[in-house]
Amino acid sequence: MLSIIIPTFNESQNVPVIIQRIDQTLSEIVPYEVIFVDDSTDETPRILADMAKKNPHVRFFHRSGERGLATAVMKGLAEARGDVLAVLDADLQHPPELLPVMLKKIDCGYDLVIPSRFVPGGNDGGLSPFRKLVSWGARMIGRAMLSRVRSCTDPTGGYFMLRRSVIENVDLHPLGWKILMEILVRGNYKKLVEIPYQFHRRLGDRSKMNIREQVNYIRHVARLVKASPDDWRLLKFLIVGLSGVGVNLTVFTFLLHVLDQSEVTSATVAATISMLSNFLLHDHFTWKGMGKGIKFVRLIKFGLVSSIGIMIQVGIVFLCMEWWDWYSFMANLAGIAGGTVWNYVGNNRWTWTN
Ligand code: GDD
Ligand code: MN
């Protein structure tokens, strides 16, 4: 059976339409139930209760005094009886006509099916330019910080289908709105697939998204980063790297201008001290508890990795400028990026291995 979970907050105009479209789409195809989890303060619960009486597919839970999209979805997932579960919004921005297509993918062996506005054929026409920008920023943050989210182009869209096994025995701690991010990071799935869809304009009333939920999103991402060791380590590595730049600039300026040393002396001492401070911070923070054996050996390894990193960095700058005529600034950025990737991977694989 397919369980369809629909969170609702004051959607009285939309619920009769969505249930009609779901019935039309699915009645010949698959056994299903539609679970509304409602926190409304208007007449929506009355309409839903009425629908649940007349339509055998409809189940309905009202939570009074409680609010929150993600927890509403959690409640629906907990009540669901199906072995395949889907979540969609009530306002028809997520077309229910896609459900059979998604179900086919599950039948083909996929664990998680995510309609995306950002694969060829998709479209997020239903958002204002400002909301588009905010939504883009949110997606970029999530995908930059969380490796498991990178396999999905639309982790914030709110429309998805999954096998029950993906979330069974998984501890989900959603915060705010984005339950899918939680599932992407913590869920048990092997095969994920995206299908294109058109995000329509909202039917009836206004969006319930607000600045508070945007702040919650950032808090949620931060929490997920801390819960995924590899992502957290990479972030720590980058923070230490930035601190190294700060140390270097401070020491350099101090030696050059206060102690009147030569440029070469100042730069050499600054580079050495910042390298040492980076090493110590990585040893006690980034890869805490992962260094085996003698610390001095790790320092030598770190020095070697960094030296190769510098060669890679210089090589990239040279290539970009001489072969591809890039501006020096862009070439330097590309060099720094290349060197940083090398340093992270090199140290992760060789200097601090557990
Ligand atoms: N039960 C419950 N409780 N439902 C809620 C609550 C709540 O506190 N807040 C919102 N909902 C329901 C709405 O009734 C709707 O069915 C769905 O959650 C999405 O709310 P909208 O108000 O339509 O949000 P949106 O269209 O701005 O955002 C949607 O699309 C975005 C795409 O950019 C959501 O799916 C976002 O997660 C998504 O990012
Ligand atoms: Mn909406």
DSSP 265-332: HHHHHHHHHHHHHHHHHIIIIITTT---S-HHHHHHHHHHHHHHHHHHHHHHHHIIIIIT---HHHHH
CA 191 to ligand 1 center in whole angstroms: 26
Residues facing residue 162 across a β-bridge: 85, 112
**Ligand 1: residues whose CB is within 6 Å?**
7-9, 11, 37-39, 67-69, 72, 89-91, 93, 127, 135, 156-158, 177, 202, 207-209
CA 17 to ligand 2 center in whole angstroms: 14
- CB contact at 8 A, 75 and 64: no
* pLDDT for 205: 76
Residues in the chain with pLDDT values less than 70: 354
* pLDDT for 354: 64
* pLDDT for 100: 98
What radius of gyration, in Å, describes the C-alpha atoms of the chain? 26
Give the number of the atom of ligand 1 that is nearest the alpha carbon of residue 208: 22
CA 195 to ligand 1 center in whole angstroms: 21
CA 194 to ligand 1 center in whole angstroms: 20
**What predicted TM-score, i.e. pTM, was given to this entire model?**
0.86
Minimal CA–CA distance to 243: which of 277, 206, 289, 293? 277
* pLDDT for 271: 93
Residue 322: burial class (beta carbons within 10 Å; 0-12, 13-18, 19+): exposed
What's the token pair of residue 12?
């009285």
How far is the C-alpha of 313 from the C-alpha of 341, rounded, in Å?
Answer: 10
Distance of CA 119 to the CA centre of its chain: 17
Q: Identify which of 9, 44, 117, 217 to mutate to test ligand 1's pocket (most ligand atoms within 8 A of the CB).
A: 9
Q: In what order do the strands lie in the sheet with 2-8?
A: 58-62, 32-38, 2-8, 84-87, 160-163, 112-116, 192-196
Helices in 172-262 by DSSP H: which ranges? 179-186, 211-227, 229-253
CA 207 to ligand 1 center in whole angstroms: 7
- CB contact at 8 A, 1 and 84: yes
Give the number of the atom of ligand 1 that is nearest the alpha carbon of residue 37: 1
- CB contact at 8 A, 98 and 120: no
Q: Are strands 32-38 and 2-8 parallel, antiparallel or unpaired?
A: parallel
Minimal CA–CA distance to 4: which of 27, 23, 32? 32
* pLDDT for 127: 83
Looking at the CA of 157, name the nearest ligand. Answer: 1
Give the number of the atom of ligand 1 that is nearest the alpha carbon of residue 93: 26
